[in-house]
Structure 1
Amino acid sequence: MSGTPLLLRRGVAAAAAAALGLALAACNSDVSQVNSGASEAPSGKTGPVKIALLASSSQNGFNKAVYDGAVAKAKELGDVEVTIFDGKFDSQTQFNQVQNVASQGTYDGIVLVPNDNVGIAAAIPAAAQAKIPVVTTLFPVGPKLTELTPQVDGVVSTVAADTEENSKKLAEGVVEYCRDKDPCKVAILIGQLQFPFDNLRNKAYRSVLDPHKNIKVVATGQGNYDRDTSLKAMQNILQANPDLDVVLSNADQQTIGAQVALESAGMDLSKMYVTGGGGSQEAVKQVRAGKWAADQIDFPNSMGKAALEQVVNAVRGKPVTPVVDADTLGPVPVIVTKEVLDQHPGFKGEWAD
């Protein structure tokens, strides 16, 4: 998952698209208050602190790593309790969770891994009114997809990276690989184009690839951040395009599924240019083995630690960092190749699919 938008999804509920429309409509009226920095923190609480971690899906490996990082940081800080909520990869479910947490009076702060980062913004004012600070991870919350500085009152910090820029970096590796190939046939495997960040990623890829006349994007499949869905999508792509040169994927789960389809078709991945996104332990193994050419790395465990620290700071009235660049939280650069990993033999990835 990269991202990452990313958002890492094993499945997207059918109601998500409808919920997105409802949330966006609400967002137009409720996200009129824009910040130039962090929201004003509470005066400072003493005693136990309870944090609600609203996962996009509690069953997802990436989200579990965010939670594990938050729990580890809570133990380090002391007198902090973290409770995870399952967003079920459903926009409306998570929207309701924000409002419920805001109204219950049980929790002092929220760490959010958003499903729909634009639509969820309409729920945040309820938390702000209840003086419950929100820290968003992986994606910013609000209408501006590339703006990491908190945009909505109630969001005090964003722990994320520049998804658009990182997507372009991943696509630049494709351009280099394709330099002497004409045509160079590319299949893009994206999560779900209905989601803002997946659409942003796809546009970023195309902005890099399309100016090169030798590069032909022959298919775009939607993998839903799921192995089986991606396997089927790649099988369908291969029926019409059996001579692919490149698979440009934004999520490790998708690439793992695509790999099964490619190898079953007798293709040698080491001679292709295959990418993933998310930095899972399996992805790191595949890049080290030379089967995947590159992977875009995320550090979800470290993101969970950073997000928990910022939200507890806000609750306790301590200084809050409005933007934490997630790309700086790990020991390797955002795009890794076998050569890069050879220089970091101890790096294994922060999460298991």
Structure 2
Amino acid sequence: MSIRDRYGRGLAAGIMAAGLLALSAACVAPGSETGGTTGATAEGAPSASAGGHKRIAFFGFARANSFAAATWAGIEEYAKANDAEAEFFDPNFDAQTQVQQIQDAVTSKRFDVFIVQANDGAAVVPAVRQAVAAGITVVAEFTPVGTRYDTTESQVPGMLTLLDVPTDNGRKLGELGVAACQSKKLNPCKVAYLEGFKSLPLDNARTDAAVKALEAAPGVELVARVEGGYTKESGRKAMQDVLQSQPDVNVVIGSSQAIAGAEGVAGGKDVLFVGNGGSRQAVRAVQEGRWFATYYLPEKTAGAKAAELGLAKARGQDVTAANSSTDLAPNGGLGTKDALKDVQGEYDE
């Protein structure tokens, strides 16, 4: 599965060729704050010092991506505090380059741990199998390595996972939409869902889960499903289309970038927005009451947790093989105003 990560902006052309989620091309380094979450950090995580000096290879989406930069900051910080060193391999969103980088790193025999943030989860499977067979500890971080979008379970025997499960993400977006409707006390409550890209299997899995959650709620009426994409521009256009057919829409759900664009179109209309992304900007919009909620994950913290898991296994310790990054987030990622009151976010759009 190629990556079109909802946590970034301005990459529609480059990532469309790679083929999945939308990733940010913003190059803003993450801060040192943990966003008020629990989980692995260089200061607070259990030490993985036993077993000698180790080397971590991080195969991230791209070095110029602010979301991947947050992951890298957590990995590097944890490694330095736990007798390890880390190196970022930059494929610049190219799935085949990332596959080659993993294969070359296996051949080099320089690394004990791989952390893989897959641009294409299906494409990297053979290379990940090769790494596991060579005795390297592999952690799949954020996106699944494989073609299933409904589980944290490893799709490569021997691999560890720390994933944002797409169907869980979609279900929680739907739940946040229902909560927004309940806060308005309308019956029916009209909801528009700005899905990512209709051509992408991962986005479709997320959309289907969100739609099921919305349609199961009494009094909630899904009145529009429009491709909203992962930029302000695409969100603005999607919102214009929604308002043409549904001028009295009550709740709008979409990627944090699309919602930022939709917000500008809504004008003085009484619309509640639900975003999908945990940037500082999205968190601030919720805290200021401009958005009802956003799906929030602390990505620097997740990077540190991935390093913790990988180093612990490489040093012979028992670790949980399948892990969800939502366990690191306040309120399981359901970023309402109350849940995010002490959170700053860990990356910029």
TM-score (norm 2): 0.78
- Using the TM superposition, give the Cα deviation of residue 203 of structure 1 relative to its aligned residue in structure 2, in angstroms: 0.3
> 2-side partners of 1:129 and 1:66: how far apart?
26
1:335 aligns with 334
- Using the TM superposition, give the Cα deviation of residue 198 of structure 1 relative to its aligned residue in structure 2, in angstroms: 1.6
**4+ long deviations beyond 6 Å:** none
> 2-side partners of 1:130 and 1:7: how far apart?
33
> 1-side partners of 2:132 and 2:265: how far apart?
47
Contact 1:169-1:335 at 8 Å conserved across structures: yes
Q: Which amino acid aligns with 2:305?
A: A
State whether structure 2 residue 167 is matched by structure 1 residue 171. no
Instruction: Show structure 2 runs of 5+ residues with no match.
Output: 21-48
Contact 1:127-1:154 at 8 Å conserved across structures: no
> Secondary structure, in 3 states, of the residue corresponding to 1:248?
strand
> 2-side partners of 1:337 and 1:151: how far apart?
32
In structure 2, do the counterparts of structure 1 residues 304 and 176 end up closer, same or farther at CA, with 3 Å as the change threshold? closer
TM-score (norm 1): 0.78
1:52 aligns with 57
- Using the TM superposition, give the Cα deviation of residue 337 of structure 1 relative to its aligned residue in structure 2, in angstroms: 1.7
Q: Which amino acid aligns with 2:278?
A: G
- 1:9-42 deviation digits (Å, cap 9, x = unpaired): 4325343249xxxxxxxxxxxxxxxxxxxxxxxx
State whether structure 2 residue 221 is matched by structure 1 residue 218. no
1:245 aligns with 250
Instruction: Show structure 1 runs of 5+ residues with no match.
Output: 19-43
Which deviates the most, 201-210 or 120-129? 120-129
> 2-side partners of 1:301 and 1:119: how far apart?
25
- 1:185-239 deviation digits (Å, cap 9, x = unpaired): 433223333333321110001112235575133232141x333333344344444
> Secondary structure, in 3 states, of the residue corresponding to 1:229?
helix
2:163 aligns with 160
Contact 1:116-1:196 at 8 Å conserved across structures: no
CA RMSD in angstroms, aligned pairs only = 2.9
State whether structure 2 residue 347 is matched by structure 1 residue 351. yes
> 2-side partners of 1:299 and 1:178: how far apart?
26
> Secondary structure, in 3 states, of the residue corresponding to 1:234?
helix
| Counterparts of residues 275-314 of structure 1 (less than 5 Å) | 275-314=274-313
In structure 2, do the counterparts of structure 1 residues 133 and 193 end up closer, same or farther at CA, with 3 Å as the change threshold? farther
In structure 2, do the counterparts of structure 1 residues 89 and 233 end up closer, same or farther at CA, with 3 Å as the change threshold? farther
2:86 aligns with 82
> Secondary structure, in 3 states, of the residue corresponding to 2:323?
strand
Contact 2:191-2:220 at 8 Å conserved across structures: no
> 1-side partners of 2:325 and 2:16: how far apart?
30
2:194 to 178, 189, 212: 189
In structure 2, do the counterparts of structure 1 residues 130 and 85 end up closer, same or farther at CA, with 3 Å as the change threshold? same
- The number of aligned residues is 313
> 1-side partners of 2:165 and 2:133: how far apart?
29
1:228 aligns with 233
> Secondary structure, in 3 states, of the residue corresponding to 2:338?
helix
- Using the TM superposition, give the Cα deviation of residue 321 of structure 1 relative to its aligned residue in structure 2, in angstroms: 2.4
> 1-side partners of 2:51 and 2:222: how far apart?
60
1:149 aligns with 153
In structure 2, do the counterparts of structure 1 residues 116 and 190 end up closer, same or farther at CA, with 3 Å as the change threshold? farther
In structure 2, do the counterparts of structure 1 residues 49 and 7 end up closer, same or farther at CA, with 3 Å as the change threshold? farther
State whether structure 2 residue 213 is matched by structure 1 residue 208. yes
In structure 2, do the counterparts of structure 1 residues 96 and 238 end up closer, same or farther at CA, with 3 Å as the change threshold? farther
Q: Which amino acid aligns with 1:350?
A: E
- 1:150-170 deviation digits (Å, cap 9, x = unpaired): 220351x11124442342232
State whether structure 2 residue 314 is matched by structure 1 residue 318. no
